[in-house]
């Protein structure tokens, strides 16, 4: 059976982007496999995968804008800045909808923010998340991130559902932390879904288990 060389995958919760590559490798023996942008294990949504000669196409896709929908909870901030981490800070401050929407609107454009300490950015050749797991302190870099557009879907009891269109290299966890801090409280991403990469949409993606079978995905969970 001829298998596609370029695949839009809808990544499930709980596995990494590299797990997707490991799952696919046995189905493409001897061929290169790559992706156009990682997703954290807690996040779901669109991953672009190239096989063989199509891996050359991936370089041009890495810099495409991306769109996400997130559920952000106010009142706590974890060490990973997502719901899988340990709570580091807590606050009883719950932002009002008016203050929140004004602040969100004011954040559109370029921001220079600290990246999450649990990220793959390297310090002296070693990913930051490895230092964090070893409880070692290193200088966490800041980088320019850009919000092209944002849209509030709903807000109730300190829970915000919001969509963002952002530049490549923008960390949604950093945006959530910054939003919380600007509101005089703390924030953590509880759910995150990548819906678009450039013109590619998650609605056109396939579930990885539909492609390889549920058993192969279960081995990575």
Please say if the pLDDT value at position 216 is more than 60: no
pLDDT tens readout for residues 74-89: 999 999 999 999 999 9
Measured CA to CA, the distance from residue 3 to residue 73 in angstroms comes to 41
Question: Residue 43: what pLDDT?
Answer: 95
pLDDT band at 221 (very low <50, low <70, confident <90, very high): low
Check residue 161 and give its pLDDT. 98
Cα–Cα distance, 157 to 136 (Å, whole number): 36
Instruction: Domains for the chain: give ranges and CATH numbers.
Output: 6-62+199-218 (3.30.2350.10), 66-197 (3.30.2350.10)
CA neighbours within 13 Å on the CB side: how many for 217?
A: 16
pLDDT for the residue numbered 1 = 56
Describe the crossing of helices 97-106 and 172-182 by its angle, rounded to 10 degrees. Answer: 130
> What pLDDT is recorded for position 134?
82
pLDDT(147) > 60: yes
Predicted confidence (pLDDT) per residue in 161-198, tens digit: 999 999 999 999 999 999 999 999 999 999 999 999 99
Rounded Cα–Cα distance for residues 116 and 114 (Å): 7
Alpha helices in the chain (DSSP H): 17-24, 55-61, 97-106, 128-133, 172-182, 208-212, 214-218
Active site residue 40: yes
The pLDDT tens digits for 14-56 are 898 999 999 999 989 999 999 998 898 899 999 999 999 999 9
What are the Cα distances from residue 15, in Å, to 42, 97, 164?
Answer: 8, 34, 23
Give the per-residue pLDDT at 217.
54
Q: Which of 19, 40, 203, 204 is catalytic?
A: 40
High-pLDDT (> 90) share of the chain, %:
74
């Amino acid at each position: 059976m001829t298998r596609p060389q370029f695949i839009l995958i809808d990544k499930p919760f709980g596995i990494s982007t590299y797990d997707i590559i490991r799952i696919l490798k046995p189905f493409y023996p001897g061929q290169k496999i790559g992706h156009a942008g990682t997703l954290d294990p807690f996040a779901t949504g669109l991953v672009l995968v190239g096989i063989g000669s199509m891996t050359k196409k991936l370089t041009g896709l890495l810099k495409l804008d991306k769109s996400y929908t997130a559920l952000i909870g106010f009142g706590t901030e974890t060490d990973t800045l997502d719901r899988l981490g340990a709570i580091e800070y807590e606050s009883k401050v719950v932002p009002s909808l008016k203050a929140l929407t004004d602040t969100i609107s004011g954040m559109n454009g370029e921001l220079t923010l600290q990246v999450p300490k649990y990220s793959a950015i390297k310090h002296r050749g070693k990913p930051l998340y490895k230092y964090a797991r070893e409880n070692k302190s290193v200088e966490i870099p800041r980088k320019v991130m850009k919000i092209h557009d944002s849209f509030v879907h709903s807000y109730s009891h300190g829970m915000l559902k919001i969509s963002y269109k952002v530049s490549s290299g923008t960390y949604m966890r950093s945006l959530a932390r910054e939003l919380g801090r600007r509101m005089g409280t703390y924030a953590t991403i509880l759910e995150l879904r990548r819906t678009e990469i450039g013109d590619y949409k998650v609605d056109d993606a396939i579930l990885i288990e539909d492609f390889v079978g549920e058993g192969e995905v279960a081995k990575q969970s």
